[in-house]
Amino acid sequence: MPYANLKVPAGTLTDASKKKLQDAVTDAFAEVYGERARPNTLVILEEVADGGWSFGGTILTAEILGRS
């Protein structure tokens, strides 16, 4: 079973954006493994609390990252 665990900053994606991302990951697995993988692909999207990210020593917040 293909499995993807995506971590995104909380509050930066709309429900529609989350679905679009999950569908795109499922499509990518199906493209590589064939359509037989689609019904067995597990995509988990975890939202990390605001301020729980840093990149290059900079704390990333929803305000900095915006919402899509």
Mean pLDDT of 36-43: 97
State the pLDDT at residue 1.
Answer: 87
Q: What is the pTM of this model?
A: 0.79
State the pLDDT at residue 55.
Answer: 86
* In the predicted structure, residue 65 carries a pLDDT above the cut 80: no
* In the predicted structure, residue 62 carries a pLDDT above the cut 80: no
- What's the pLDDT band for 21 if we cut at 50, 70, 90? very high
56-64: long-range contacts, CB 8 A cutoff, minimum separation 24:
60/9, 61/9, 62/9, 62/10, 62/11, 62/12
55 - beta bridge partners? 58
